[in-house]
Amino acid sequence: MARRLLFEHINVPGINTFDVYRQQGGYRAVERALKSLSPDDVVEEVKKSGLRGRGGAGFPTGMKWSFLAKPEGVPRYLVCNADESEPGTFKDRYLMTHIPHLLIEGMIVSSYALGANTSYIYVRGEMMPQIRILEKAIAEAKAAGFLGKNILGSGFDLELYVQPGGGAYICGEETALLESLEGKRGNPRIKPPFPAVSGLYGCPTVVNNVESIAAVVPIVNEGGDEYAKIGIGRSTGTKLISASGNINKPGVYEIELGVSVEDFIYSDEYCGGIANGKRLKAVVAGGSSVPILPANLILKTVNGENRLMTYESLSDGGFATGTMLGSGGFVVLDEDACIVRNTWNFSRFYHHESCGQCSPCREGTGWMEKVLHRLEYGHGTMSDIDLLVDVAKKIEGNTICPLGDAAAWPVASAIRHFRDEFEWHVTHPQEAQKGNYGLAHYADPLPAIAATV
């Protein structure tokens, strides 16, 4: 049984309340930090832990904290990015729903480390139940003396607020989030300056994901060195994975980084194998914005090594043969799934969610959606496939924020690994129009599919 740090007490009845959370050892990290550690000590523990941002980028959290500017007489802010809107990702929502005080405790400790006396949790606007849960948890923590003035007699003050988001995917990008938090339209800012220098209200700001902030609690409780012993290499600690698609046991799992992808998909401890006895066709490993990989490449690297659930192993070989751990949105596709339809669905999403600020993204996402629609419904040509590749290249790396890349990578990787399926939609237009896109229509689908293990 894998070790669990964030979900250790997730199944304890009433763990969403302050009293039960406290009985299970909750808020010990706050007590240790405020009574025994200086803010710099907490930052150092996070650095030693090797914790990397769990929202998608995977940047070292302690290093990010150390970049925070500290001008005299200027407030600093910590903002929690709970705008979780990446298709296929729902781990943060699960954590906020079932154990909200873990996030609150992480916010207190992290705010102390950063010298922030006002902090915000920016929650996606559609998540009203989670917003209410967090507001209740904050009220309980404040009533118990863990928020407000002079917390635990330490001299540290903190006010924590929950802010409903703008209901836009683009607001998951940290500078667009800050714009929205200031009451403006959620358009990404040009960087530099980075938020660590000029963020919320022009002041030094750190933006971290829900899971990243929650992970600070076990790091402070157990020490950064102990946390770093979990995992492999630079992928330390545990990671929450949102598993969905054609599997027997969809849900949110806390894994020790380093478990093999094959074990994660097929073991009873996690996904329990492919549903209905089907075979594995492909996996989107880190949310809709990462490259899709066929079965043979998601299970093994090009060198024949087992692909591991780590930042390094999943990205092995670059985008030609690898992908990204990203936000941990693990979507499994079986042999009957249509890659063209899946890619078109992703493109519809990114076209709808583009803020329109950058013309390559504004126009390119629309073109990709239209061309993929033609292919899916039997009106495409062979030249359309190359047109998609060309449009994706013109979007990638040419936008202010990563949404353009997020839209381009799934299309480029789908064609790279499943070009025969796109061509089938051109050569079998009547079948495509009927929606008959299963693998039964391919002459030899077996090489790209993993057998059930």
- Domain boundary assignment for the chain: 18-229, 240-334, 339-437
Q: If one looks up domain 240-334 in CATH, what number appears? A: 3.10.20.600
ω into 192 cis (within 30 of 0): yes
Is residue 183 a contact partner of residue 202, using CB atoms and an 8 Å limit? no
Q: Which residues contact 446 (CB under 8 A, 6 or more apart)?
A: none
Protein fold of 339-437: de novo design (two linked rop proteins) (1.20.1440)
Picking from 235, 208, 243, the residue whose alpha carbon sits closest to that of residue 94 is 243
Spatial separation of the C-alpha atoms in residues 45 and 67, rounded to whole Å? 16
369-414 residue pLDDT tens: 999 999 999 899 999 999 999 999 999 999 999 999 999 999 999 9
Residue 445 pLDDT > 70: no
State percent of the chain over pLDDT 90. Answer: 89
75-91 residue pLDDT tens: 999 999 999 999 999 99
User: In whole angstroms, what separates CA 304 from the centre of its chain?
Assistant: 27
Q: Which residues contact 103 (CB under 8 A, 6 or more apart)?
A: 80, 82, 95, 96, 121, 134, 137, 210, 213, 214
DSSP secondary structure, 5-28, as one string: SSSTTTTSTTTTSHHHHHHTTTTH
Torsion of CA 192, 198, 200, 206, to 10 degrees: 80
Look at residue 167 in the predicted model and tell me its pLDDT. 86
| pLDDT classification of 435: cutoffs 50, 70, 90 | low
Spatial separation of the C-alpha atoms in residues 151 and 160, rounded to whole Å? 13
Picking from 211, 264, 266, 216, the residue whose alpha carbon sits closest to that of residue 240 is 211
Q: Which residues contact 266 (CB under 8 A, 6 or more apart)?
A: 272, 273, 452, 453
Residue 179 pLDDT > 50: yes
The pTM for the full model equals 0.93
On the question of a common fold for 240-334 and 339-437, the answer reads no
- Give the right CATH number for 18-229 from 3.40.50.11540, 3.40.50.300, 3.30.450.20, 3.90.550.10: 3.40.50.11540
Spatial separation of the C-alpha atoms in residues 202 and 195, rounded to whole Å? 8
Sign of the Cα torsion 300, 302, 305, 308 reads negative
222-243 residue pLDDT tens: 999 999 999 999 999 999 999 9
Q: Is residue 53 classed as helix, strand or coil in its secondary structure?
A: coil
- Output the average pLDDT for the chain: 93
**Angle CA 333–323–127, to nearest 5:** 65
Residue 390: burial class (beta carbons within 10 Å; 0-12, 13-18, 19+): exposed
7-51 residue pLDDT tens: 999 999 999 999 999 999 999 999 999 999 999 999 999 999 999
Within 10 angstroms of residue 229's Cβ, the number of other Cβ atoms is: 12
Is residue 327 a contact partner of residue 380, using CB atoms and an 8 Å limit? no
Spatial separation of the C-alpha atoms in residues 428 and 140, rounded to whole Å? 61
| pLDDT classification of 453: cutoffs 50, 70, 90 | very low
**Angle CA 32–35–38, to nearest 5:** 90
Residue 431 pLDDT > 90: no
Measured between its terminal Cα atoms, the distance across the chain in Å is 20
* Helical residues (DSSP H) of 182-233, grouped into ranges: 210-222, 224-228
Look at residue 436 in the predicted model and tell me its pLDDT. 59
DSSP conformation class of 187: P
Within 10 angstroms of residue 23's Cβ, the number of other Cβ atoms is: 13
Is residue 214 a contact partner of residue 223, using CB atoms and an 8 Å limit? no
345-370 residue pLDDT tens: 999 999 999 999 999 999 999 999 99
State percent of the chain over pLDDT 70. Answer: 95
Look at residue 432 in the predicted model and tell me its pLDDT. 78
At 379, give phi and psi (nearest 5°): -115, 10
Length of the chain: 453
Residue 443 pLDDT > 50: no
Spatial separation of the C-alpha atoms in residues 123 and 68, rounded to whole Å? 23
Look at residue 429 in the predicted model and tell me its pLDDT. 86
